[in-house]
Amino acid sequence: MSRPLKAVKPFSTAMLLAAGLGKRMRPLTDHKPKPLVEVAGKTLIDHVLDRLAFCDVETAVVNVHYFAEQMEAHLAGRRRPRILISDERAGLLDSGGGVRKALPLLGKAPFIVCNCDSFWIEGPQVNLEALKAHWDPARMDILMLVAATATSVGFDGRGDYHLDSHGALARRRECETAPFAYAGVLLIKPELFEGTPEIFSLNRLFDAAEAKGRLFGKRLDGIWLHVGTPQAVKEAEEKIALSPVE
């Protein structure tokens, strides 16, 4: 096990949520974890890690549970960013609990959290760099990348959030639809995890930040690819094939 990180600059570290069972991706995940499913000749987790490396993220902490040995073997070949493993073989901790367990590896500065089934085709701006540039710690506890549901690939829900003219987010009510979906990438302050339980969803922190007026969003520039099912893999590959830039 590598030694925990000490003082680091904001957003030089990232947490990749990669421990899930990938049930919706079956049968592709019958014998491999979802982050190792390939889209356009590259695994899902490498699509995400390549974007982090491009934006000079130095260290990525990856939690593992399902087919953990396969994940560790695959990640051993990465050099940028540096990979640290957060081991959840003993039991899944949900999204928030997974980040909480990894805090000693993430350092004390604000960091990035990424899902491993979401990436995007870039528009004119590099989305992760734009997200970091938009961060304002005086106003924000969490800043999400959000995608317009109307132009996204592989997303079939009713949306997650409304985005106002100041960038503040409001979760849709149960009977509503919302124009934006959480695109699987966010910036967050580590102190939000103080006093949280061992097992919990990040939604708990999202709702708490919203209640304080400190949950904000940045609209994704490009096309969001939500790759959660075998059909979504095909749809993403078709969209990538038509795009001059992936």
CA angle 21, 161, 163 (to 5 degrees): 140
Q: Do the Cβ atoms of 92 and 65 come closer than 8 Å?
A: yes
Give me the pLDDT at residue 2, please. Answer: 46
Q: What does the angle CA 56 – CA 224 – CA 102 come to, to the nearest 5 degrees?
A: 50
Residuewise pLDDT in 10s, the chain (246 residues): 445 444 457 799 999 999 999 999 999 999 999 999 999 999 999 999 999 999 999 999 999 999 999 999 999 988 899 999 999 999 999 999 999 999 999 999 999 999 998 899 999 889 999 999 999 999 999 999 999 999 999 898 899 999 999 999 999 998 889 999 999 999 999 999 999 999 999 999 999 999 999 999 999 999 999 999 999 999 999 999 987 655
Question: Can you give the residue range of the structural domain that contains 175?
Answer: 13-242
Let me know if residue 141 belongs to a domain: yes
Q: Are 125 and 221 in contact (CB under 8 A)?
A: yes
Question: Helix 44-54 to helix 127-134 angle, to the nearest 10 degrees?
Answer: 60
Find the angle CA(165)-CA(173)-CA(220) to the nearest 5 degrees. 40
- Does the residue 5 lie in any domain? no
Return the pLDDT at 196.
97
Instruction: Classify residue 180: in a domain, yes or no.
Output: yes
4 part of a folded domain? no
Residue 47 structure tokens: 């699509």
Determine the pLDDT at residue 5: 46
Long-range CB pairs of 129-134, under 8 A, 24+ apart, other chains included: 129/55, 130/218, 130/221, 131/185, 131/187, 131/218, 132/10, 132/11, 132/55, 132/187, 134/167, 134/216, 134/218
CB of 209 closer than 8 Å to CB of 110 = no
The pTM (predicted TM-score) of the whole model is 0.91
CATH at residue 206: 3.90.550.10
Helices (H), 1-119: 44-54, 68-75, 94-106
Q: Which residues pair with 226 in a beta bridge?
A: 118
The rounded distance, in Å, linking the Cα atoms of 141 and 194 is 13
Three-class SS of residue 161?
Answer: strand
The token pair that represents 41 in the structure block: 């000749």
| Length of the chain in terms of residues written | 246
- Would you say residue 200 lies in a domain? yes
137, HSE (Cβ side, Cα atoms, 13 Å) = 10
Identify whether 236 is part of a domain: yes
- Is residue 7 one of the residues assigned to a domain? no
pLDDT of 156: 85
Domain annotation covers residue 81: yes
Strands (E), 65-136: 82-87, 111-115, 118-122
Number of domains in the chain: 1
